[in-house]
Amino acid sequence: MVFKYTITGWGWAQLDIEINKFKPNPHYRDKLSFGSSLKDLLKQIISILNYDDSIPIDYVSNNKKSNSIDWTIHDEATEVNFIFGVNGDKANLKVIQKTSYSPYKEECVFTGEINFMEFIKEVIRSCEDILSKYGIIGFYANTLSGTEFPMAYYLLLKNYFDKKLDKIKTLNGKLLSDENDESDIFFTKFDQELRILEKGGRII
C-alpha cells in the first residue's frame, strides 16, 4: 500500500496512491493555500484511535471519538474526497473524485478494504519525509498560507503507533510495571518530545 503525501513546491503538495490495482494517473494534487489538509487528516486519525481522556479535546475532531474519516484535498480543477469507515485495524475506503468546473462530474473511483495500521504508517512516513526535507520553517514557507506543520498531531500519532508496536517494556528480560520509575528509560524519543510540548518548552 502506498499513500504518500509530499510537498512539491511553493503552495502545492502531491498525493501518490497505490492500493491493489488502484493507482491514479496523473497524481492527485493539493493546493496548500486552500488550508491545512495535512493537519485535518492527522486530527481525524487521532479521533479514531483508542486514546484515553488524558488527551486534550483540542486534539480530537469534534471533541469526541469517531469511527470515520472524511478527508478532502483539491487543486483548482479537481476535488478528491477520501472516506474511511474504520473498524479496528481495518477500514473501508471510498475515493470520490469531483470536477470543480463545468461540466460537473462526480465519480467513485475506488472502494475496498484497507489495513488501517498500514495507512497510518504511510501517513507517519510522509510526515517524516516532509520534516526531513523542509523542516518546520520550510513547511511554513512552502504552504504560502501561513500554515504551520502540525507537529503536536504528528507526535501524538507517532507516539501511538510506536506504543502499539511495542507495548511491553523490559529491562534485561524482566517486565517493568508502569509504577516502576525505571520504566522511564524506555520512553521513546517521541514520548520525551511530547513531554517537552506539554510543559510548554521548545524542541531544539
Task: Work out the angle at residue 139's Cα, subtended by the Cα atoms of residues 134 and 142, and round it to the nearest 5 degrees.
Answer: 105
Q: Residue 38's pLDDT is what? A: 93
- The DSSP letter of residue 182 is G
The answer to whether the beta carbons of residues 42 and 157 sit under 8 Å apart is: yes
On whether the pTM is more than 0.85, the answer is no
pLDDT surpassing 50 at residue 127? yes
CA distance 33 to 67: 29
pLDDT surpassing 70 at residue 39? yes
Q: Residue 128's pLDDT is what? A: 92
Residues shown for the chain: 204
**Domains annotated on the chain, with CATH:** 2-150 (3.30.2450)
Q: Residue 147's pLDDT is what? A: 82
Pair type for strands 78-87 and 106-115: unpaired
C-alpha cell at 130: 516532509
